[in-house]
Copies of this chain bind each other. A is one copy, B any other.
Amino acid sequence: MAKNKNAISPTRAEDYPQWYQQVVRAADLAENSDVRGCMVIKPWGYAIWELMQADLDRRFKETGHKNAYFPLFIPKSYLEKEAEHVEGFAKECAVVTHHRLEDDGEGGLKPAGELEEPLVVRPTSETIIGASFAKWVESYRDLPLLINQWANVVRWELRTRLFLRTAEFLWQEGHTAHATEAEAIEETQKMHGVYADFAESVMAMPVVKGAKPEHERFPGALDTLSIESMMQDKKALQAGTSHFLGQNFAKAQDISFVGQDEKQHHAWTTSWGVSTRLVGGLIMTHSDDDGLVLPPKLAPAHVVIMPITFKADDPDAVIAYCEKLATDLKATTYDGQPVRVELDARDLRGGEKTWGWVKKGVPIRLEIGPRDMNDDSVFMARRDQSPKDKQGVKRADFLANVADTLQDIQDTLLERAKTFRKENSRVINAKDKFENYFKGDKGGFALAHWNGDVEIAKKIQQDHAVTIRCIPQDGAIDDLLGGPNEPGKCIFTGEPSERRVVWAKSY
């Protein structure tokens, strides 16, 4: 690696989409498979997803949800039950029509055993889980029913990008049923809050909490809440959604119960999900022109130890010093868990080894040679600082402070992302300024008034590829506005508007 050159080429400024692909590749996170639109998640990428899963799963359980598992296949007739829902998913789904392969007479195989009813590989599970809920719910005593599923889903996307949009992806989908509208709305909001807190405190990714405008809701939902984050190309990423489904699905599938009033009622349902797309958001929020940058809470390794033995009189002594350090580190905790340590004693050139871990985003790198050992020290670099900023630290001090150092990196990344978002958000009060803001490749979050007319929003999308990311909750964009979100006038019509909404280009 030559000096004064970055590890990733092209840089963000040169070609952002290509930079993203190269970061994913250099960190060995995932790759495209030969199967159209499907990715292979490689061990380093999957380990990040496992850390996300563990944290989210704990939050779901703490809020009273239980995991279960439902069929991969959805009968065509199930999908047909809810009109908007089928409209939303029928155009891009994998359809199973046969149940075996047989000799095609030309040395190959052809599909055989046609099914009476085609099956769709789940694009989401409202209908198949609803069918179970209909059986499980009889009385108000069976409610609320709070279920989560970790699963793979398939949506036949035309244009795919690793993690951000793939035909198959991994996700969790929460599905709940309640006796009252108020309880279902409360659940929708609660899980929206869980996602937002996870994004900020674990992913170090600031998000705007808000509601989707009507035409951007989940097919069949009465309300869709989302968390929206800003990537480093200033585009928005929808990172998680929580849907209030009203009684639409309950009526379509007859999820009903005998209430305390001894009368029959339809339940009120919700669903909510986040996916491996979060890994894409994580990459694009923090990474730099040297590759992946991981917030410590989601780093498969917090610390990598690299013994430098080529000049050592006694290489084994250096290795032993490093092994002892790894053991001591693993006995300390960060964020309630043992510090995760990688000892890399591979026989590689030092530069190659170091840059490999830079590109993988490990928060703390230690290079340890005979001098460090003799000085009872470590030579430390932080991934949130320049690769050239390295410092000698006494071993005991490093061990005593490692948890604080990791938390400092976590905090620094969140602060940086917040600053970037603030710098790239603008209050806009006129249509021409709005159009100019988004001209060409420009633009970030535009905070502008809108009268609520869906047709106007659709027109803006068509003309400028800019969408309303969300109608922010109270307080959600106060830091971007520098004050409360007050009523005003729609910049397109001059009509009254209750609050500013967030406009942006998006993934």
A340 CB to closest chain B CB, in angstroms?
12
Surface stretch bound by B, among A94-102, A393-401, A412-420, A468-476:
A94-102
1/0 contact string of A67-98 vs chain B (CB within 8 Å)? 11111111110111000001000111111111
- Stoichiometry, as copies per complex, reads 2
Tell yes or no: A42 within 8 A of B by CB.
yes
Tell yes or no: A35 within 8 A of B by CB.
yes
B40 and A74 within 8 A (CB): no
Tell yes or no: A504 within 8 A of B by CB.
no
Tell yes or no: A487 within 8 A of B by CB.
no
If the complex has contacts A38-B72, A168-B73, are A97 and B100 also in contact, measured as CB distance less than 8 A? Answer: no
Chain A 152-187 residues near chain B, CB threshold 8 A: 152, 154, 156, 168, 170
A73 and B99 within 8 A (CB): no
Please indicate which of the listed interface residues A38, A49, A72, A151 has the most CB atoms of chain B within 10 Å of its own CB. A72
What residues of B have a CB within 8 angstroms of the CB of A90 in the complex?
100-102, 109
B102 and A72 within 8 A (CB): no
Smallest Cβ-Cβ distance to A57: which chain B residue: B50
A109 and B170 within 8 A (CB): no
What residues of B have a CB within 8 angstroms of the CB of A38 in the complex?
71-73
B121 and A75 within 8 A (CB): no
Tell yes or no: A409 within 8 A of B by CB.
no
B68 and A80 within 8 A (CB): no
Tell yes or no: A336 within 8 A of B by CB.
no
What residues of B have a CB within 8 angstroms of the CB of A66 in the complex?
43, 46-47
Tell yes or no: A119 within 8 A of B by CB.
yes
Smallest Cβ-Cβ distance to A78: which chain B residue: B34
B33 and A46 within 8 A (CB): no
A94 and B86 within 8 A (CB): no
B109 and A99 within 8 A (CB): no
Tell yes or no: A236 within 8 A of B by CB.
no
A281 CB to closest chain B CB, in angstroms?
18
B95 and A68 within 8 A (CB): no
What residues of B have a CB within 8 angstroms of the CB of A33 in the complex?
70-71, 128, 131-132
Tell yes or no: A41 within 8 A of B by CB.
yes
A287 CB to closest chain B CB, in angstroms?
21
A78 CB to closest chain B CB, in angstroms?
8
Total count of chain A residues near the partner, CB < 8 A: 62
Please indicate which of the listed interface residues A35, A86, A113 has the most CB atoms of chain B within 10 Å of its own CB. A35
User: When chains A and B are docked, how far (Å) is the Cα of A128 from the Cα of B32?
Assistant: 12
1/0 contact string of A279-303 vs chain B (CB within 8 Å)? 0000000000000000000000000
User: When chains A and B are docked, how far (Å) is the Cα of A236 from the Cα of B95?
Assistant: 37
Tell yes or no: A364 within 8 A of B by CB.
no
A360 CB to closest chain B CB, in angstroms?
13
User: When chains A and B are docked, how far (Å) is the Cα of A120 from the Cα of B97?
Assistant: 11
If the complex has contacts A35-B73, A131-B33, A154-B72, are A67 and B91 also in contact, measured as CB distance less than 8 A? Answer: no
A73 and B100 within 8 A (CB): no
A94 and B70 within 8 A (CB): no
A156 and B100 within 8 A (CB): yes
Please indicate which of the listed interface residues A92, A100, A113, A132 has the most CB atoms of chain B within 10 Å of its own CB. A100
Tell yes or no: A483 within 8 A of B by CB.
no
Tell yes or no: A111 within 8 A of B by CB.
yes
What residues of B have a CB within 8 angstroms of the CB of A105 in the complex?
none
B99 and A92 within 8 A (CB): yes
B94 and A67 within 8 A (CB): no
Chain A 94-128 residues near chain B, CB threshold 8 A: 94-102, 108-111, 113, 118-121, 128
What residues of B have a CB within 8 angstroms of the CB of A71 in the complex?
33, 35, 38-40, 168
Tell yes or no: A250 within 8 A of B by CB.
no
Tell yes or no: A448 within 8 A of B by CB.
no
What residues of B have a CB within 8 angstroms of the CB of A43 in the complex?
66-68, 147
A30 CB to closest chain B CB, in angstroms?
9
What residues of B have a CB within 8 angstroms of the CB of A98 in the complex?
94-95, 97, 118
In the A-B complex, the 8 residue pairs with the closest CB atoms: A38-B71, A43-B66, A41-B69, A95-B98, A90-B101, A99-B156, A95-B111, A35-B71
What are 14 A-B pairs at a CB distance below 8 A? Answer: A31-B132, A33-B132, A34-B78, A35-B73, A42-B68, A73-B94, A79-B109, A91-B100, A91-B101, A95-B99, A96-B121, A97-B97, A111-B118, A113-B156
- Given contacts A86-B101, A95-B96, A110-B118, 17 further A-B pairs with CB under 8 A are A33-B70, A33-B128, A33-B131, A35-B73, A35-B74, A40-B68, A40-B70, A40-B71, A41-B68, A41-B69, A43-B66, A43-B147, A46-B67, A76-B108, A93-B99, A97-B97, A121-B121
